[in-house]
Amino acid sequence: MTRPTSRDVASAAGVSQATVSLVLGGKWRGRVSERTAALVRETATTLGYRPNLAARSLRLGSTRTALLVVPALTNEFFARVYTGAARIAAEHGFGVVLYPSPDGTGPARDPFASASTALDGVIASSMAAGALDAIGDAELPLVMLDSDPTAGRAAAHVNLAMADGMRQITEHLLTLGHHRFLHLASAVDTWTFDIRAQALAALLGPHAELRTVRAPLTVADALTAMEAALAAPADRPTAVICDDDILAAGACKAARRLGLRVPDDLSVTGVDDLALATAVEPELTTVRLPAERVGEQGMTALLAVLEGTPWTAPDLPVELIVRGSSGPAPTRP
């Protein structure tokens, strides 16, 4: 079967090859109407057209490839970030290579002989400031996702409104009468988790008792940390605020092993709204993070940087999803 060409797309759509090149190359805005651009993309999809990226790279002097660096390949959040980034990349004839860096703290090793010649840019999600020093050089555009906007050499940032997410959680629990809190914090030392801790301390400081326990991001480690934290009945909190749904699942397991009922004896909340949040019983109250939107904006930001266009955007909003794991504070004798 003959592979369709841009000429075939142009003929089927009733437009010029130049128009097809503009649309599929992401250069159409201001030159081609929205309607025509949509028609060209739809026609290309119907015909199964795929741009010859090797030929285009030689012509444009670029590889049309972005590297997405994430802390873990097994975490659903980062899979969704990749999905969003890949969707926008595909619309502009780009490919996205996914690459893990341990825990987001690095150092991430250069996966290529020379990243600056193999890539057009790097997108890094939830990484520590110095984790990417070994990848490429200062000339390679870098977009940071869910990371410190004041650190590193990034050309653009995409962040979530995490402090507001913590506000939503604390207001929810305070309204339910809770005043003794435990923060089950991630042991990974990155900006995104620091922001959560800082926000909780500021929000709860004047109103409640707050204790912090750290654990690696696994259910088993969270279970161990929470069994120790809940062992003494006199010191038990009435609510546990977890940095992540995985930690929250471990907290719920620990509560059950100690004979505590969630939420009657202990409310538990998470962050992310992973599939896990509705797999546990009771289902988890959590802050939903728009992971695919993070990936979409990250790729959009990189494309803007590559075109020399300044890119800024407000933090992406997050949403508290109230489910069965949070309830009124228990009455103490």
What domains can be seen in the chain, in order of their start residue? 6-51 (1.10.260), 58-159+291-316 (3.40.50.2300), 162-289 (3.40.50.2300)
What does the alpha-carbon distance between residue 113 and residue 266 come to, in Å, rounded to a whole number? 52
pLDDT on residue 57? 43
**Mean local confidence (pLDDT), 139-154:** 83
Model pTM above 0.85: no
Please tell me the distance from the alpha carbon of residue 234 to that of residue 237, in angstroms, as a whole number.
9
Judged against a pLDDT cut of 90, whether residue 114 lies above it is answered with no
Give the range among 32-46, 163-177, 250-264, 317-331 with minimum mean pLDDT: 32-46
Collect all residues with Cβ–Cβ distance below 8 Å to 292 and sequence separation of at least 6.
80, 81, 83, 84, 87
pLDDT of residue 292: 96
Residue 28 has pLDDT above 60, yes or no: yes
Both ends of the chain: CA-CA distance in Å? 78
What pLDDT is recorded for position 152?
67
The number of angstroms, rounded, from the C-alpha of 188 to the middle of its chain's C-alpha atoms is: 15
In the chain, which ranges are continuous DSSP H helix?
6-13, 17-24, 34-47, 53-60, 76-91, 115-118, 162-175, 191-204, 219-229, 245-257, 291-306
pLDDT above 90 covers what percent of the chain?
52
Alpha helices by DSSP H, listed for 25-125, are: 34-47, 53-60, 76-91, 115-118
Residue 53: per-residue pLDDT:
46
Higher-pLDDT residue of 90, 206: 90
pLDDT at 61 (0 to 100):
45
pLDDT score for 59? 39
100/292 Cα distance (integer angstroms): 18
> What pLDDT, on a 0 to 100 scale, did the predictor assign at position 107?
55
For residue 56, pLDDT beyond 70: no
